[in-house]
Amino acid sequence: MIAILYGIARRTAKTTKKRSNTLNTTVEKAQQVAARESFQLEHDNLCVICGQRSHVNVIGAVKEHEYENTTAIAFPVIQCQCGHVYLFPRPSISELGRIYPPTYYAFGDDSEEPDSWVLRAVARGRVKALETRLVPFLPQVAGRPLRILDIGCGEGKFLDAIKTLIPEAQTYGLDSSSSALSRAERKGHKIIHGFIGEVEIEPQFFDAVICLHVIEHVARPDQFLNECRNLLQPAGVMLFETPTIDTLAFRVFRSGVWGGYHAPRHWHLFSASSFARLAGKAGLDVKHNETYPIGTFWVWTFHVLAMKWLPRSIADTIFPPKVIVGRRFYDFALLAATSILDSLIKLSSKAAGGMWIIMTHRSAPPQ
């Protein structure tokens, strides 16, 4: 099934690229649907990478496919002349409650079964990821435990992983979901409720700041990265994860099928070079940048394709949108298979669907 859909998707992408698609036309269509839904749009066409307000082309349009009753708007996907990809227009901040419904996967679930072998396997994966991506870069501090902040922590699953690796660390989580934070707090993590830049946090307090698949969700990644840097000790490190448009999957499915769009919640999408430019503008140096496989993006890609030809109920069964928090053996096996697929893509094209980046304060210029 996956091989068949992949072949169909390649033909679909080639056909779509032949269509004439102007910015005005796609924006007008989005506005018409938004008006019918009383959905507020944000028409900010500033490129956060180069600072320009011009565009090369509209490379596609993306629609919600994971959750029902959010919005039917097809959001235009813009590629700036510098290569940066973003939604224009995008949902207004006032619509966050609509595009992130109460059932959104990252908000967690009180009914989770801690003894499930599937959940234990996923938890071990989080520990292994941080053992590779964070621990080797942590600074040495004397006389006190490390202070580590997770921005967008949800219910604190990655903070749990940090505690497994560094039991003495002081773990802090920032999130806008009070229900998710309450679960994190019950597990012993210190919590901060709200949005970065809107809550008071002591500057240069943290030895490490991690931010995993959050920056693509924010309206102004440049300002967001500045706020993160302000929280970091002079010798501290930041670990970010985000989708990357360097992957072959984006090039094939960019017209609107690629699961990495997570439509309409991913507002900005980066390449390795564009993220390095963004970090530089924020006074940060990129010390390490590497891609890694994300099976979830392939599940979402195939879900979009399946919905074109199959009833939604069947598409949801074969490629469940919330597979990332699934507890069944099928969910685990599907993620394993699609992660292997993304690993093979990386072997052939040098980039998988996810990107992790280590940053530090910019080094002082030589005297």
CA pair distance 356, 292, nearest whole angstrom = 8
Of 51-60, 72-81, 155-164, 168-177, the one with minimum mean pLDDT is 51-60
Is pLDDT of 18 > 50?
no
Q: Which ranges in the chain belong to alpha helices (H)?
A: 2-17, 23-37, 96-99, 117-133, 157-165, 178-186, 221-230, 248-253, 272-281, 295-309, 312-318, 329-349
Is pLDDT of 210 > 60?
yes
Please report the pLDDT score of residue 2 as a whole number: 47
Cα atoms in the 13 Å half-sphere on the side-chain side of 110: 6
Mean pLDDT over each residue of the chain, to the nearest integer: 90
Residues 247-294 have pLDDT tens digits of 999 999 999 999 999 999 999 999 999 999 999 999 999 999 999 999
Cα–chain center distance at 223 = 17
- Structure letter (DSSP) for residue 270: B
Pick from 350, 302, 276, 349: which is nearest to 3 by CA?
Answer: 302
Residues 6+ away with beta carbon under 8 Å from 11? none
Classified as helix, coil or strand, 361 is strand
Q: Are 354 and 294 in contact (CB under 8 A)?
A: yes
Q: Are 312 and 209 in contact (CB under 8 A)?
A: no
Is pLDDT of 126 > 50?
yes
Residues 166-197 have pLDDT tens digits of 999 999 999 998 888 999 999 999 999 999 98
CA pair distance 104, 106, nearest whole angstrom = 6
Structure token pair of residue 57? 């082309």
Within 10 A of 17 (CB to CB), how many other CB atoms are there? 12
CA pair distance 25, 279, nearest whole angstrom = 34
Residues 308-346 have pLDDT tens digits of 999 999 999 999 998 887 778 899 899 999 999 999 999
Residues 25-45 have pLDDT tens digits of 889 999 999 999 999 999 988
Q: Are 55 and 87 in contact (CB under 8 A)?
A: no
Classified as helix, coil or strand, 246 is coil
Please report the pLDDT score of residue 67 as a whole number: 94
Beta strand pairing call for 85-87 and 75-79? antiparallel
CA pair distance 314, 86, nearest whole angstrom = 31
Is pLDDT of 366 > 50?
no
Please report the pLDDT score of residue 252 as a whole number: 94
Please report the pLDDT score of residue 326 as a whole number: 75
62 vs 24, which has greater pLDDT? 62
